[in-house]
Copies of this chain bind each other. A is one copy, B any other.
Amino acid sequence: MIATATKRIAPPKRLLYGPGPSMVEPRAYEAMSQPVVGIFDPYFLGILEELRGGLRTVFGTQNQATFVVPAGGSGAMEAALANFLRPGSKLAVFAAGHFADRMTIMAERLRAQVARLEKPWGQVFSAQEAGQFIERERPQAVAFVQAETSTGAYQSGRAIAAAAHAVNALAIADCVTSLGAMPVELDEVGIDVAFSCSQKGLSCPAGLSPISISPRAWAQLESRSEEPFTWYLDLRLTAKYFDAPHVYHHTPSPPLYYAMQQGLAAIEEEGLENRWQRHRRASERLIAGLAGLGFEPLVARPEDRIWHLTTVLPPAGVDQAALRQKLFEKHGIEIASGLGQLAGKILRIGTMGPLATDENVDVFLRAFAECL
């Protein structure tokens, strides 16, 4: 039973300096309190089109097949894999983090054959490594993580996509953390299938996940003779809702669409390049401040770092769990530790959206230093 039937929602004030969910854009909150309308209402279809246009901008693509999957980021990951793999397909995975492992698990459940190139978590793959691995494995598809949320490492994927195309494989990219806060650039990089989420670089609530598919990959989907295991995440069926004449597949959630349209409009208002640079500057300021306190970046080379998600190793003697607890209790600040093999070893600090400013980095650093 609900304790008090008349009790309203009144969350305590929190500052989400973690790897996501991140702070939500004020315009998105305002949007969610607007009335829902029907799923074929001309007003709603107009919002859809604006949202898709905004997604093409942040994805850096002309792909017509750019829309959202009615699920969280891992649902979009599963959509990307389930629609482009069939039992027995070979998938080559660049594995240096938790989310590459998640793709491996999903692909195996889909009865694909997975080949993995592993590196220590926090590292990225060189062009030579990418080329040799793909050339040797000759897979039907290649999967990599553009911004690995579990380690803080970023790689654009240029060399991986080029090597994939050289053997006629599709390049599938996890852009869950990169989208909206740093370069994704699907068309320039050569990514065929990209998926993301709403609750990190886009400053929206979770629950609705962008996906974009190149014409080359879409043609492959259209010629697919056997249906994927999943109906809910079937991208051909999903696309039929987004494109005219808008055939019913699932029931979209208007508040999440309203929020994302506003999140994207806020990015357009700021300018995508300006937004990227704001995140880059915040990250540099944060890393400098943390270095002054003895925290060392996990990702060695600055050019391999995610701009809005900083991962650091605490100096000897710092109890990272106690530190996080203190930050949370005294300041309402949420940050995270690592996942999987980095659990308890690193701190993950996000400076996303509204928090990626000098002022908010300083707010964080002051509270952090106080809790040490």
Binding site for B on A (CB under 8 A): 1-14, 16, 18, 20-21, 23-24, 27, 29-39, 41, 43-44, 47, 50, 53-54, 57, 70-75, 77-78, 82, 102, 105-106, 109-111, 197, 199, 205-208, 227-233, 248-256, 258-259, 261-262, 264-266, 268-269, 334, 339
Partner of A8, one of B27, B233, B339: B27
User: Which residues of B sit under 8 angstroms from A38, Cβ to Cβ?
Assistant: 14, 16, 18, 21, 334
Can you name 5 extra interface pairs (CB under 8 A) apart from A11-B35, A74-B232? A13-B35, A70-B75, A205-B254, A206-B253, A207-B207
A289 to B201, CA, bound (A): 52
Cα distance A71–B4 in the bound complex, in angstroms: 27
A41 in contact with B29 (CB, 8 Å): no
Cβ A230 vs Cβ B231 within 8 A: no
B231 near A265 (CB under 8 angstroms)? Answer: no
The winner among A2, A16, A75 for most chain B CB atoms within 10 A is: A2
A14-B38, A71-B232 known; A253 and B33 CB under 8 Å? no
Q: How many copies does the complex hold?
A: 2
Residues of B within 8 A of A82 (CB): 229-230
Judging by beta carbons under 8 Å apart, are A6 and B36 in contact? no
The contact of A24 among B7, B35, B206, by CB within 8 Å, is B35
Picked from B12, B70, B206, the residue with its CB within 8 Å of the CB of A43 is: B12
* A197 with B33, Cβ < 8 A, contacts A2-B261, A9-B47, A227-B109 known: no
Whether the pair B8, A251 counts as a contact (CB closer than 8 A) is no
Residues of B within 8 A of A106 (CB): 231-232
The answer, among B12, B70, B264, for a CB contact under 8 Å with A2, is B264
Chain B residues in 8 Å Cβ range of A262: 8-9
A7 touches B231 (CB 8 A): no
Contacting pair A29 B18 (CB below 8 A):
no
